[in-house]
């Protein structure tokens, strides 16, 4: 396997000399361990000790040079999950002179991205924690190109979706366990360690109950660019552009079913009802029955996706704009508290509609108290605790990941009450989903308004006028914008409230609430299409 790393491509002697002379070199971005990614020359890994090694020499450097703060708690997060104490990265230090007494290093010539996958057996985790962050970390550093090598250090086997990770680069990803095969000491010629968290939208509830991340930095555009890139690599073409009349009529909804647990018990009845309701044909898929590329192909042309809450719903990111996601929740599970897919579908620019339905009828659910705890069994608990869970009508807010009441409820099977589901869908989906009409909305923001000015006049002892005028933002003359408006804020100096005005033209004379011999602070900004706000121009000081 060391052949695979093609030692021939590098001059072994030169590499060894460089390592001995220069040692390891590190420069990182990020102020905190949670937002740090580090780039290394000659970072090494000792497979026996299972430790990364930084070799100090006269010309090595380490930025940030944190001293012992490097262990408080770590240099960086190796997975995209924020500050998880099982996912920290650090290295041991040695003088480069120690190399003389160590096993001969094996050099990895590829530019390498070193990271932890968080939970490679769960599709939501695969996409949210790994694939998207890897994809965009690779776009952040241009030498992490299609030839880059991915190294997964979390210590798991390939997992159920390894083929998806293979799509990210042309080189086979390496697992921690495989590193031993290459030798006792591996040195990565050029490597990046850590993942960008910029694309993540959900926190799983390790320190506070799960929910959307506080400051989401990704929009539908980046999710869709990632999805198209993956689809291209899977050779999946979407039917865009000129559709034939036949294709146009061939709308369908998808039921993504789970066949092992959390079942829909009346799936056939549900499908019949939805066919009736939408006048579309039905397609069912499941991870157990179709391969993933097939499922992506089906979903990328679907008008509606219906599924029980669960990781398979992350596949919503392959839906066309304008489509509808219907997420079904078992009895006693409050949809508002478990929103990874709602948050995904609601990202600005995803242009999906989202409907949550919840089973409110206890008799329509089948629970499995005798199963192992991780599949929701409660037989191992005290009688009192069991009774408490059985009597509860809603799982209270809780932390991840082993709350028995949550697991008991989420692994129930459900008979879907059709009338209440149709009602829930009709309440949200007012018009038939129309994929053809759904075009991406413009996201071009206005520039600052230019040359803002004010003129004032005093009419009488209690009457004054304030005229504000400005020029259009510089970028407007190159744009076709449906609606251009301006917002003006007027604040009397010293007061802490202001009056906002929305105006259609480039000037306006204010006379109401304007006092003589008073100084006003005036801010002006441009707004495109009601919600694309521009920046305020420099504040104007206007004395009447």
Question: How many residues are there in the chain?
Answer: 544
292: left (phi over 0), alpha (psi -120 to 50) or beta: alpha
Q: Does 306 participate in binding ligand UDP (rule CB under 6 A)?
A: no
In the complex, least distance from residue 275 CB atom to ligand UDP, rounded to whole angstroms: 23
Q: Rule CB under 6 A: say whether 124 interacts with ligand UDP.
A: yes
Answer whether 83's CB lies under 8 Å from 219's CB.
Answer: no
Give CA–CA dist 221/189, Å, rounded.
34
Nearer to ligand UDP, 41 or 413 (CB): 413
Residue 153 or residue 264: which is nearer to ligand UDP going by CB?
264
- Residue 401 in the binding site for ligand UDP (CB under 6 A): no
Here the tokens at position 93 are 């230090």
**287 interacts with ligand UDP by CB under 6 A:** yes
Return phi, psi of residue 88, to 5°: -80, 150
Query: Which stretch, 31-39, 293-301, 308-316, 520-528, contacts ligand UDP (CB under 6 A)?
Result: 308-316
Q: Is 325 in the site for ligand UDP (CB under 6 A)?
A: no
CA distance 168 to 467: 58
Stretch that binds ligand UDP, among 116-124, 203-211, 235-243, 511-519 (CB under 6 A): 116-124
- Does residue 261 bind ligand UDP (CB under 6 A)? yes
506 binds ligand UDP (CB under 6 A): no
- Contact with ligand UDP (CB under 6 A) among 196, 200, 312, 364: 312
CA atoms in the 13 A half-sphere facing the CB of 455 = 7
Which of 183, 310, 452, 534 is in the footprint of ligand UDP by CB under 6 A?
310
DSSP character for 187?
E
Residue 42 vs 406, nearer CB to ligand UDP: 406
**Distance (Å) of CA 182 to CA 45, 105, 108, 220:** 11, 9, 10, 41
Residue whose C-alpha is closest to residue 138's, from 211, 59, 225, 58? 225
Q: Is 315 an interacting residue with respect to ligand UDP (CB under 6 A)?
A: no
- Minimum Å distance from CB 316 to ligand UDP? 13
Which tokens go with 120? 């490679």
**Whether 468 contacts 541, CB under 8 Å:** no
Provide, rounded to whole angstroms, the least separation between the CB of residue 340 and ligand UDP: 8
Indicate which single residue of 59, 237, 259, 392 sits in contact with ligand UDP (rule: CB under 6 A): 259
The count of other CB atoms within 10 Å of the CB of residue 158 is 13
Map residue 283 onto helix, strand or coil: strand
**Residues 6 or more apart whose Cβ sits within 8 Å of residue 534:** 445, 446, 447, 448, 449, 473, 525, 526, 527, 528
Interaction mask 55-94, ligand UDP, x per CB under 6 A: ----------------------------------------
Instruction: Based on the shown chain and the rule CB under 6 A, indicate whether residue 258 belongs to the binding site for ligand UDP.
Output: yes
**Closer residue to ligand UDP in complex, CB, 14/260:** 260
Q: Write out the two tokens for 63.
A: 């930025």
Given candidates 311, 352, 407, 415, which one binds ligand UDP under the rule CB under 6 A? Answer: 311
- Site residues (CB under 6 A) for ligand UDP? 122-124, 258-261, 287, 310-312
């Amino acid at each position: 396997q060391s052949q695979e790393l093609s030692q021939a491509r590098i001059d072994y002697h030169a590499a060894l000399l460089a390592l001995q002379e220069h040692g390891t070199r590190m420069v990182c971005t990020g102020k905190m361990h949670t937002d740090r990614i580090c780039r290394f020359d000659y970072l090494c890994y000792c497979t026996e000790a299972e430790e990364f090694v930084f070799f100090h020499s006269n010309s090595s450097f380490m930025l940030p040079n944190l001293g012992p703060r490097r262990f408080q708690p770590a240099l960086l997060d190796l997975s995209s999950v924020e500050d998880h104490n099982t996912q920290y990265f650090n290295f041991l230090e040695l003088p480069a002179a120690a190399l003389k007494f160590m096993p001969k290093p094996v050099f990895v010539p590829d530019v390498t991205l070193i990271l932890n996958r968080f939970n490679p057996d769960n599709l939501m985790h695969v996409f949210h924690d790994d694939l998207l962050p890897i994809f965009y970390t690779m776009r952040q550093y241009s030498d992490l190109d299609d030839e880059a090598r991915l190294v997964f250090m979390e210590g798991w086997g390939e997992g159920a979706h390894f083929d998806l990770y293979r799509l990210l680069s042309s080189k086979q990803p390496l697992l921690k366990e495989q590193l031993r095969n290459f030798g006792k000491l591996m040195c990565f010629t050029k490597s990046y360690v850590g993942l960008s968290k910029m694309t993540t939208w959900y926190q799983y509830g390790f320190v506070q109950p799960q929910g959307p991340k506080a400051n989401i930095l990704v929009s539908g555009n980046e999710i869709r660019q990632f999805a198209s890139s993956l689809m291209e690599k899977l050779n999946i073409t979407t039917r865009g552009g000129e559709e034939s009349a036949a294709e146009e009529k061939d709308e369908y909804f998808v039921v993504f079913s789970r066949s092992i647990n959390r079942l829909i018990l009346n799936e056939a009845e549900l499908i019949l009802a939805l066919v009736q309701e939408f006048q579309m044909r039905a397609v069912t898929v499941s991870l157990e029955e179709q391969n993933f590329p097939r499922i992506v192909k089906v979903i990328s042309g679907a008008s509606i996706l219906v599924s029980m809450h669960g990781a398979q719903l992350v596949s919503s990111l392959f839906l066309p704009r304008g489509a509808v996601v219907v997420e079904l929740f078992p009895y006693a599970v409050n949809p508002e508290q478990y929103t990874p897919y709602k948050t995904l579908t609601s990202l600005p620019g995803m242009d999906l509609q989202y409907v949550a339905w919840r089973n409110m009828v206890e008799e329509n659910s089948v629970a499995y108290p005798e199963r192992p705890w991780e599949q929701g069994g409660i037989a191992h608990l005290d009688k009192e605790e069991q009774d408490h869970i059985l009597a509860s009508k809603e799982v209270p807010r809780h932390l991840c990941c082993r709350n028995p009441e949550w697991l008991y409820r989420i692994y129930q099977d459900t008979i879907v009450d059709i009338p209440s589901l149709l009602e829930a869908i009709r309440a949200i989906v007012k018009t038939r989903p129309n994929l053809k009409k759904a075009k991406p909305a413009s996201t071009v923001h206005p520039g600052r308004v230019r040359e803002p000015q004010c003129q004032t006049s005093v009419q009488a002892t209690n009457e004054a006028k304030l005229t504000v005028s400005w020029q259009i933002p510089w970028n407007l003359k190159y744009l076709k914008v449906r609606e251009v408006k301006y917002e003006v804020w007027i604040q009397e100096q010293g007061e802490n409230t202001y009056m906002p005005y929305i105006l259609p033209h480039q000037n306006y004379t204010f006379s109401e609430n304007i006092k003589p011999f008073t100084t006003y602070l005036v801010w002006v900004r441009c707004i495109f299409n009601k919600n694309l706000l521009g920046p305020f121009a420099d504040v104007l000081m206007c004395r009447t």
